[in-house]
Structure formats: structure tokens, C-alpha cells
Amino acid sequence: MARRCYGSTSVVAFLMVCAALVSVINVGQLSVFLRTKRHTAYGPDTGLYSIGYTLRGNLSMESCQAVPDSLVGKLNIDLGAALKSPTPSKHQDMLPGGAWSPKSCVSRQRISIIIPFRDRQAHLDILVYNLVPVLKRQKVAFRIFVVEQFGNKTFNKGRLMNIGFTEARKHDEFDCFIFHDVDLIPEDDRNMYTCSDNPRHMSPALDKFNYTMLYKSLVGGVLSFRDKHFTKVNGYSNLYWGWGAEDDDMHKRLSASKLSVERPSITIGRYTMIKHDKKDVSSVRLSLLKTSTTRYLKDGLNTLEYKLVETRLEKLWTRIIANVGDPPKNQTENPL
């Protein structure tokens, strides 16, 4: 930004350009970012079209506490509240595109929340309404990416998560990527939205299953990764169309890459699942699973293909709309 301002021909023009930029960005957060121009985004909801920002923070401040005093522990989830009171008015301190950073300290990590999405706007509103206050109390710098599948072909969650990871890295340097189902609401803010030394399955205990872990290798729901770990497992498989097993395939990738999975205890790693119908269950998912270990290095981030339809900086998230392609007419067990 500075370079652009200096490029203005007169002092008056310089001041006017800077004032205009300041006015479209929440002034309270100015110290936080405005460092680089990394990306051009387009969107009807924002006046901010071509300014990149980074969640690096004001490095002259102290690091935030690893476990901040602001945590409250177990939460009372009211799923209806989000629909009664619109979230944006509560979060004026967020930057367009759904980013926030603590003002009183420097967040230890910059996290990217990646939500694969289609047709579940009410669920997204409920999640964000509940999740954002948790992240703020945890004092983590975050940016939310909603990765929406374009069109109405069978859903491919694995591709969307790979796209989220690929696109998020174009916007900022993140320390941690958290893949988050849109229908899971955290019940305890001690479940930190940060990355540890190993990938962490943050949602072992769902209300739907009476807060017990369904099976030992479960990694579905909410899963956090360091960049190097997600790259090491080659991301998610691109081959699972329809509901089920892309997460089980991820567990096999983790094991094959010799990465162990951490979990919070089942008293803290609790989530409420928003009820919905399960549709389009994949018929080949179990056969595909059989070949994940031999296939994973040639099916994932390194073979991901998609067409970016639009990136929109909306108030509470960056919406990435992508065309993930069409499912094969007759999917075989292992098309590779």
C-alpha cells in the first residue's frame, strides 16, 4: 500500500488515496495487516476489491497466551439464536473476507478455517455465529474460507477441501489449516483452534453419537493440519463423489505417511451436529478405500483440477466458488 501511496503525484492526492483506503478497512485493525498485495478479489458485498492483507499481527506486541484467560469452557449452544439475530452486526471488527486478529497481543498462529459447502446457508450462519466468538476468546488470528461447489453435480468434499487449502495459501501465509464440516458446532472453547505437532482430529465426540467416538480411526468432522503435513499426505483424495469415506481415506493417508493423529479428550472435543438428511451416498466408497494406500501419492493435491469461478470477500468469510468437474459416469473402484 505504501508504495502505491508514494506513487501519487501530489501530497493532496496521496492523502486522499490513503484516507479512502483507511475508510474501507476497519480502522481498529489497521495496525494488524495491510502489508502486501497478494490477491485480487471481486465481490458485491465489499468495497475492497484489490487489497490483500495478512494476519501477521503487530509484532511489537507480546504473544497471546497459549491458553487465554478469556476462555469460558463448556458452552450452551442455542442453534436457533443465529437465525434470530444476524451475526454481521456483532462482528464489526472483522475484516472483509472473514478475518480477525486479536488487538491486545500477537496470535501464536494464523489459522485458516476451510468449510466445504453447498446449499446449507442456514447451517453456515449457525456455525459462524457460534464459532467466531470461540475463536476470539481463544485469541487466534483467523480467516474463514467457505469453499462452495459450483453447479448441482454430485458433491465432492475432498476436492473442495483441497481447493480451500490451495486458494487460502494465495491469500495469506497460514500456520494451520482446519477443515471444518458446516454442521458441527463446538461445545467447549477449551478445544483450541490451533495446530499441534501432529494433525489433530478436533471432533471426536458428537452429540449425535452420545459423545462417544464411533470408531478408532475416525478423522471426519473437524481436522487440523500444518501445511507440511497436509502436503505430505497429498491432501484429500479427489475421487470420492457423494457422501462418505473421504475422511476414512485421509486416515489411511496419515497412517501411510507415518503421521499420528492427536485428539482432545471426549469431554472437551464435543460438538453439536445440526440435523440434516444424508443424500447421495457414494456406492463405490468402500471399494475405493481398499486402494487408498497405494493410490494416495497420485491422487490428491498434485492431481487437483478445478476452475475457480469466483472469489468473494463477504463480511464473515471469503467465499470461493469452484467448478470441481463432473463425476465419472461409471466410477470403478480405482480409476487410476
Which of 167, 183, 247, 299 is in the footprint of ligand BGC by CB under 6 A? Answer: 247
Q: Which stretch binds ligand BGC (CB under 6 A): 1-9, 23-31, 241-249, 299-307?
A: 241-249
Judge contact between 164 and 98, C-beta under 8 A.
Answer: no
Task: Transcribe 159-216 into DSSP letters.
Answer: HHHHHHHHHHHHH---SEEEEE-TTEEESBTTS--S--SS-EE---EEGGGTTS-SST
Q: What is the four-CA torsion angle of 80, 72, 184, 321, rounded to 10 degrees?
A: 90
* Shortest CB 280 distance to ligand BGC, Å: 13
Which of 248, 272, 306, 322 is in the footprint of ligand BGC by CB under 6 A? Answer: 248
Q: Does 242 bind ligand BGC (CB under 6 A)?
A: no
225 phi/psi in degrees, rounded to 5:
-140, 140
Q: Does 249 bind ligand BGC (CB under 6 A)?
A: no
Taking the least distance from each CB to ligand BGC, the nearer of 57 and 199 is 199
Judge contact between 83 and 125, C-beta under 8 A.
Answer: yes
Q: Does 304 bind ligand BGC (CB under 6 A)?
A: no
* Shortest CB 86 distance to ligand BGC, Å: 31
Q: Does 61 bind ligand BGC (CB under 6 A)?
A: no
Judge contact between 127 and 185, C-beta under 8 A.
Answer: yes
Residue type, 236: Y
Q: Does 244 bind ligand BGC (CB under 6 A)?
A: yes
Taking the least distance from each CB to ligand BGC, the nearer of 82 and 233 is 233
Taking the least distance from each CB to ligand BGC, the nearer of 167 and 249 is 249
Q: Pick from 302, 217, 286: which is nearest to 256 by CA?
A: 217
Judge contact between 106 and 62, C-beta under 8 A.
Answer: yes
Taking the least distance from each CB to ligand BGC, the nearer of 157 and 312 is 157
Taking the least distance from each CB to ligand BGC, the nearer of 71 and 213 is 213
* Shortest CB 245 distance to ligand BGC, Å: 4
Q: Name which of residues 98 to 157 contact ligand BGC (CB under 6 A).
A: none
Q: Does 220 bind ligand BGC (CB under 6 A)?
A: yes
* Shortest CB 205 distance to ligand BGC, Å: 13
* Shortest CB 240 distance to ligand BGC, Å: 9
CB atoms within 10 A of CB 204: 25
Task: Transcribe 317-333 into DSSP letters.
Answer: -EEEEEE-----SS--S
Judge contact between 137 and 66, C-beta under 8 A.
Answer: no
Q: Does 181 bind ligand BGC (CB under 6 A)?
A: no
177 contact partners, CB below 8 Å, separation of at least 6: 111, 112, 114, 164, 165, 168, 195, 224, 225, 226, 227, 230
Q: Give dist(CA 207, CA 269) in Å, integer.
A: 11
Q: Does 158 bind ligand BGC (CB under 6 A)?
A: no
Taking the least distance from each CB to ligand BGC, the nearer of 247 and 299 is 247
Task: Transcribe 29-43 into DSSP letters.
Answer: GGGG-----------
Q: How many residues bind ligand BGC (CB under 6 A)?
A: 6
Q: Does 214 bind ligand BGC (CB under 6 A)?
A: yes
Q: Does 281 bind ligand BGC (CB under 6 A)?
A: no
Contact residues for ligand BGC, defined by CB under 6 A: 214, 220, 244-245, 247-248
